[in-house]
Amino acid sequence: MACMNIPGELVEDILYRVPSPSISRFKTVSKEWNTLLNDKAFIKKHLTLIRPQFLLWTNSKVYSVGVSLNDDPKIELRELLLDIPDVIDHRTTNFLPCNDLLFCASWWWNNKAAVWNPSLRQTRLIKSGEEHFRFGGIGYDNGRHGKGYHIFGHSHSRQSVNGNTSKFNKRFSISKFESNAWKCINDVSDGENSIGGDSLDNNVSLNGNLYWTTYSYETDEYLIRSFDFSKEIFKIFCVLPWKKDSSDIPILSVFRGDRLSVLNKSKGTNNMEIWVTKNKINEDVKNLVWKMFMTVSIPIYKGSNPSYFINDIYEKRLVMFCSDENGKACVYIAKGHARKKIQIGFDVSEFSHCFYDPNLFPIPSESSDQ
């Protein structure tokens, strides 16, 4: 093949649009390309142009599901390699996207978790020194220059009361990602500060902090709780206006990269409302305002929770990954009154999923100075 002289600006413009799982291969083309693809300005612009994706995992495999949002939407299913010494199981394994990274933890691993970047094929195993430790998530101190990642979770212990009965306590601990040195932040009674139902499937990460929805039996209200990695404290972020007898548990997602959205499904129906915060999420929760983004009716499998993302760059659009009424994996794209369903196209009936944004940021090493 004849060698073509392509202007550097055109090469750069083409590379901006290459999907993240493929772009790492181009680093070996030349020193110039390797420098370009590691440049922070390139990475930032590339993030604005690539397609958002869903992560899908079964009992043994992990896939990315890319969705094109042109006039004829299509999906691309691609198997991903997760280099960890444990078997993936959709019933016990969960993934939590945190800005640049994917956090992977399982109920069965007890004191182990993994941080993963599928685009760069990088994995780092995280261990806790405590037995029966369950990981809660990953975040960072948003008041610190640079992202010093922290990981936290809890262990269980029984404490004797009056020499006869025992009380079930949770001991929360946090670790700096680069040092893997753990410290205890508090001990609470069982039932307090539960993190997304003790799993990651209802958690979202925004501005370094974790948010999740939960139900208060004392007040009969749905709440959004949060864990602030800067102050190392739990907080009630806000109260949601729906009751358990009329709504399924609300599902959180991130909107525009700096706001929260929540999907409220009416109990026993296919009707869904999607609300978004009007302003950026910050410390001033007193002035928090929710506004209706859109309403939609989508039939999903009873008892299942969808993953979704929304955008309003050009027009309001919802992209949802879910189990359809027959329990089959599919993607719905809703825009105005129009709705399109795309089947994933494989025969696995048991699976889990979440939304994530691919990226090219490397996983910090244990010795890196964040």
Give the model's pLDDT for residue 2: 43
Q: Does residue 33 lie in a domain region?
A: no
Q: 1 lies in a domain? A: no
Residues in Cβ contact with 146 at an 8 Å cutoff, skipping those fewer than 6 apart: 370
Whether pLDDT at 163 is above 90? no
| 350 and 58 Cβ atoms separated by less than 8 Å | yes
The tokens describing 154, both together, are 């809890």
Residue 328 has pLDDT above 70, yes or no: yes
**What's 143's DSSP letter?**
T
In a domain, 17, yes or no: no
Question: For residues 102 and 89, what is the distance between their CA atoms, to the nearest angstrom?
Answer: 16
Question: Is the pLDDT at 132 greater than 50, yes or no?
Answer: yes
Q: What percent of the chain has pLDDT over 90?
A: 21
The predicted model gives 62-84 an average pLDDT of: 83
Does the pLDDT value for residue 360 go beyond 50?
A: yes
**Crossing angle of helices 8-16 and 40-49, rounded to 10°:** 50
For residue 189, is pLDDT > 50? Answer: no
The confidence score (pLDDT) of residue 1 equals 37
Mean pLDDT across the chain: 80
Residue 222 counted as domain residue:
yes
- Which of 209-218, 277-286, 351-360 is the most confident on average? 209-218
Per-residue confidence (pLDDT) for residue 191, from 0 to 100: 46
CB-based contact 17:10 (threshold 8 Å): no
And the tokens for 15? Answer: 């590379």
Task: Give dist(CA 339, CA 296) in Å, integer.
Answer: 9
Listed in sequence order, the residues at least 6 apart from 289 whose beta carbon sits closer than 8 Å to its beta carbon are 277, 278, 279
Q: 12 in a domain, yes or no?
A: no
pLDDT at 125: 86
Name the pLDDT band for 368 (thresholds 50, 70, 90). Answer: very low
Does residue 363 form part of some domain?
no
- Residue 304, domain CATH: 2.120.10
> Where are the extended beta strands (E) located within 242-287?
251-255, 259-265, 271-277
For residue range 281-320, list pLDDT tens digits in order.
876 677 889 999 999 999 999 888 999 998 776 578 899 9
**Closest to 19 in 3D by CA, of 72, 75, 57:** 75
Domain contains 20? no
pLDDT in tens, 4-49: 566 777 788 878 777 655 676 788 888 888 888 888 888 777 766 6
The more confident residue out of 370 and 228 is: 228
Quick one: what percent of the chain has pLDDT higher than 70?
Answer: 80
Q: Which domain holds residue 171?
A: 51-158+166-356
Judge whether residue 262 has pLDDT over 90.
yes
The count of domains in the chain is 1
Residue 334: partners with Cβ closer than 8 Å, 6 or more residues away: 294, 296, 298, 317, 318, 319, 320, 340
Domain assignment present for residue 28? The answer is: no
Q: In the prediction, which pLDDT does 36 show? A: 86
- Six-digit token pair at 215? 């139900």
pLDDT recorded at residue 334: 93
pTM summary value: 0.81
Q: What DSSP letter does each residue of 163-186 carry, written as one string?
A: TTEEEEEEEEEEEETTT--EEEEE
Report the pLDDT value the prediction gives residue 30, as an integer from 0 to 100.
86
Which pLDDT score, from 0 to 100, does residue 43 have?
Answer: 77
What mean pLDDT comes out for the span 139-164?
A: 74
